[in-house]
């Protein structure tokens, strides 16, 4: 991950922003749509009924979490980015087996990010081949693919942290015995503050970094790229 970050930070600012738009929008959009799709398969049509079962990023963007907060952090040169998308609504009572099915719905988002990271790995591989022919877009494909790998792996690993309301928190609530699940679920109103605290103290990267590095190397091996 650090190697990818160094490569991307070496690009001019405008170029870095331009190649990041598509991968970031897809990472957020497909993640949220995957939750809605999984819920529909398991008996809950709420997301589809509200128009959230779509790849239109405008349906998933949260004005504060997806736009305003990241822009403010960039303008303040905070040294880190933080944000969120609009959660897909799920009616737990509609699920056929609520406790089990909520685990599957929660896992669907990070699972979609993993698949997208592999897709962007293939784009990097194709970009290398295209660049070797002298075609001008080969290098852009490589950089865009690196952004795609970076953002999707980060989103996947971050969301799997066992802190409600993150996906990993919902998975943990679904897997833990009743009393423990209830205790963990009570953390949800304070989850965002816990995450912010971990971020500001540097602990968040200590939790997310090693797993992210491992997944990036696995994807590099899978698609035949140099680690």
pLDDT string in tens for the chain (227-residue length): 667 777 776 778 778 778 888 888 888 889 999 999 999 999 999 999 998 888 888 888 888 777 777 667 666 655 555 667 888 899 999 999 999 999 999 999 999 999 999 999 999 999 988 887 777 788 889 999 999 999 899 899 999 999 998 999 999 999 999 899 999 999 999 998 998 898 888 898 899 989 999 999 999 999 888 75
Contact 210, 112 (CB under 8 A): no
Write down the pLDDT at residue 133: 78
**Largest Cα–Cα separation, the chain:** 62
Tokens of 193: 């503050």
Alpha-carbon distance of 227 to 219, in angstroms, equals 9
Number of structural domains found in the chain: 1
Report the candidate in 86, 85, 90 with the shortest Cα–Cα distance to residue 38: 90
Structure confidence by residue, pLDDT tens digits, 38-49: 999 999 999 999
Local structure of residue 79 (DSSP, 8 states) = S
* Helix, strand, or coil (residue 78): coil
* Helix, strand, or coil (residue 198): helix
Write down the pLDDT at residue 82: 62
Identify the sign of the CA torsion 221, 222, 225, 227: negative
The residue segments making up the domain with residue 123 are 2-223
Write down the pLDDT at residue 75: 62
């Amino acid at each position: 991950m650090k190697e990818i970050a160094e490569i991307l930070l070496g690009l001019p600012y405008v170029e870095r922003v331009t190649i990041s738009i598509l991968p970031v929008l897809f990472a957020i959009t497909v993640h949220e749509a995957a939750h809605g799709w999984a819920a529909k398969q398991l008996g809950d049509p709420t997301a589809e009924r509200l128009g959230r079962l779509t790849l239109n990023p405008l349906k998933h963007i949260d004005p504060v979490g997806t736009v305003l907060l990241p822009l403010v952090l960039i303008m303040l040169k905070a040294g880190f980015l933080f944000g969120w998308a609009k959660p897909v609504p799920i009616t737990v009572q509609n699920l056929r087996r609520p406790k089990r099915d909520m685990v599957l719905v929660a896992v669907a988002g990070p699972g979609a990010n993993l698949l997208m990271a592999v897709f962007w790995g293939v784009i990097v591989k194709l970009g290398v081949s295209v660049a070797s022919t002298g075609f001008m877009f080969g290098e852009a494909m490589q950089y865009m693919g690196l952004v795609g790998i970076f953002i999707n792996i980060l989103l996947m690993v971050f969301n799997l942290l066992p802190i409600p309301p993150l996906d990993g928190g919902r998975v943990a609530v679904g897997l833990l015995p009743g009393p423990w699940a209830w205790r963990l679920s009570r953390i949800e109103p304070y989850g965002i503050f816990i995450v912010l605290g971990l971020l500001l103290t540097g602990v968040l990267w200590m939790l997310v970094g090693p797993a992210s590095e491992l997944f990036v190397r696995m994807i590099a091996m899978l698609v035949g790229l140099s680690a």
